[in-house]
Amino acid sequence: MIFNLTQDQLRYSVYFAPRGEQRLLNLGYQISQMYLSAKDLLIGIIGSPGSGKSLLVKGMFPGLELTNDDNGVNVRPLPLLDINGNLFFSPHTYHVDVRFEQAFTQLGELAAAIQKAVDLGKRVVVEHFELVAPLLKQSADLIVGIGEEVIVTRPNVFGPLPQDIADIVHISIRYRKMAHTAEDLSTMVLINEFGFESNTFYKHGDVHHGFVLQFMEPPRFDLEKVEKRVRELIRQNLEVSFVDDEHIKIGETLFRCTGPRIHVANTSEIEGFRLLDEIQYDRQSELYFVTGLVGKERFERLDDLNSIRLAPTDIIEQAGSNGH
């Protein structure tokens, strides 16, 4: 038998969790191409509400009908509960959001329906997989957790357990939301108060506990002044609210954003915002980086920001203090 080494040897892979819609869709597609096998039937998706799970699923499984559509169109009755003996005309892949469906169906009934579908050779994509995992006879073939980072793992008898992934992503998501909101605040300040055009930014990038604004030309502005102004806005306790799929409101200011659900609810929730005091030039991409960071974690060296880690020490310690 020939094994796909990318899949068979996988312990876990970690990606930055993007904040924009298209970047999430692209990452989902990439994950499916690299890690998903045609024989994988049980796919576990783990992450907090608003983390981008559904977009990741849409990228991994284009055309899959999600039963918890964000626009309020919820599929009833749940197709997973309606599998009958006529398997020829039934779908191959089903979707279920366990947390959402618990409002209508007992957890044990959901678990039984998932297990039945898998036993019949159907694929089931399960959001909030950690809630139902203890009631199933098997682990997921593939688990994807999304918090500040996207963790892809193929569990076996040695783990990891779904709850292990949940402990990490449910805590780390706050850093992603803080970083995204601070990123939008910084961009808003540069556009509205420093005269930058929205197309000045070549693209947005990622860094651990932060964000990167990338420029094709060295930007001409005072980093200290931008940081000071963003901190002032943070202290104003401005409400951050979803408007539509391309806009948010920060206070009373309408702002374009392609990841409008991935924010803190109020700017006061952003901890430890700062800009690196120098603009970095990346020779590989030939771009200039303005880097913002959030959180209490401090780094001695610039090249330590993206050190390989499954989770920051503070996340692991916090998960442990919660009894997991």
Q: Where are the alpha helices (DSSP H) in 76-193?
A: 98-101, 107-119, 129-132, 162-193
pTM value is 0.86
* Per-residue pLDDT tens digits for 222-245: 999 999 999 999 999 999 999 998
| 166 in any annotated domain | no
150 and 186 share a domain? no
Q: How many domains does the chain have?
A: 2
Predicted pLDDT at 3:
37
Q: Which domain covers residue 291, as residue numbers?
A: 174-321
Domain CATH number, residue 101: 3.40.50.300
293 and 258 share a domain? yes
149 and 217 share a domain? no
* Per-residue pLDDT tens digits for 253-312: 999 998 999 999 999 999 999 999 999 999 999 999 999 999 988 776 777 777 655 444
Question: What distance lies between CA 144 and its chain's CA centroid?
Answer: 10
Residue 321 or residue 152, greater confidence: 152
Domain CATH number, residue 283: 3.30.980.10
146 and 254 share a domain? no
Q: What are 122's two structure tokens? A: 């159907």
Average pLDDT over residues 39-64: 95
137 and 99 share a domain? yes
- Mean per-residue pLDDT over the chain, rounded: 87
Provide the percentage of residues in the chain whose pLDDT is more than 90.
65
Average pLDDT over residues 189-203: 79
| 167 in any annotated domain | no
Q: Is-contact 177 42, C-beta < 8 A?
A: no
CB within 8 Å of 70: residues ≥ 6 apart? 54, 261
Decide which of 160, 191, 223 is a domain's last residue. Answer: 160
191 and 90 share a domain? no
Cα 120 to Cα 122: distance, rounded to the nearest angstrom: 6
12 and 134 share a domain? yes
297 and 193 share a domain? yes
Percent helix, strand, coil in the chain, to 5, is 35, 20, 40
Q: Are strands 142-146 and 42-47 parallel, antiparallel or unpaired?
A: parallel
| pLDDT band, very low/low/confident/very high, at 176 (cuts 50, 70, 90) | very high
Decide which of 99, 133, 160 is a domain's last residue. Answer: 160
Q: For the ranges 120-124, 194-198, 218-222, 248-252, which has the lowest average pLDDT?
A: 194-198
Please report where in the chains the tokens 């329906």 appear, as a residue. 113
| 277 in any annotated domain | yes
Predicted pLDDT at 65:
87
| 48 in any annotated domain | yes
Decide which of 160, 183, 207 is a domain's last residue. Answer: 160
* Per-residue pLDDT tens digits for 82-115: 776 555 557 789 999 999 999 899 999 999 999 9
Sign of CA dihedral 283, 285, 291, 296: negative
CB within 8 Å of 76: residues ≥ 6 apart? none
Q: Is-contact 18 51, C-beta < 8 A?
A: no
- CA Rg, the chain, in Å? 21
Predicted pLDDT at 85:
57
270 and 183 share a domain? yes
118 and 194 share a domain? no
183 and 248 share a domain? yes
